[in-house]
Amino acid sequence: MAKNGQILELKCEMPTCYCDHPDGRKHFDPWPDPPSAPENRWSPNPDHFPDLRKDGGERKPWNVRLAHVLCNNLDVGWRRRIRRLLEKDPTRSFDDIAEVLNRKKRVQVPPGIESWTSEIVRNVYVSLPLPRPSAEPE
């Protein structure tokens, strides 16, 4: 896309960006050499969207969005976990899934969120922005 002049602006396109840099979504660190997880959390990373790689989604201009490594990893991890719960029991509600995620201490709650709710589960599953606490400016 860069070679074809199709990139107009670099910004994290994840529904919820967690970058705490003053430039937020528009801030990207260069990739370290060699790449290592703790040092690259704000480096650019392609996310297969809307078709996940697991579902055969390829890295094509119509199926990729730019993300920070950390934002992508958090989003994909939560979507996979929710999807697994729905695959086990397709009749399960988002309320039930929120209860399961809250009981499992290993499942990290999204930053700025106190606990999983049906709204948070739905937004993660369909890749919508997470609600922000009212004290934070948008």
pLDDT of the residue at 138? 42
Token pair, residue 67, equals 């993300």
**pLDDT tens profile 57-91:** 888 888 888 899 999 988 888 888 899 999 999 99
Confidence of residue 137 (pLDDT cuts 50, 70, 90): very low
C-alpha radius of gyration, the chain, whole number: 16
Q: How far apart are CA 134 and CA 124, in angstroms?
A: 19
Q: Which amino acid is at 114?
A: E
pLDDT of the residue at 130? 75
pLDDT of the residue at 92? 93
Indicate if the pLDDT at residue 136 is higher than 60.
no
State mean pLDDT over 28-46: 79
Closest CA to 42 of 13, 9, 15, 20: 20
pLDDT of the residue at 135? 45
Q: Are 97 and 73 in contact, with CB atoms under 8 Å apart?
A: no
Residue at token pair 């970058």: 19
State mean pLDDT over 26-35: 82
Q: How far apart are CA 20 and CA 48, in angstroms?
A: 24
What's the pTM? 0.75
Across the chain, what does the average pLDDT equal? Answer: 83
Torsion from C-alpha of 5, 7, 8, 10, nearest 10 degrees: -150
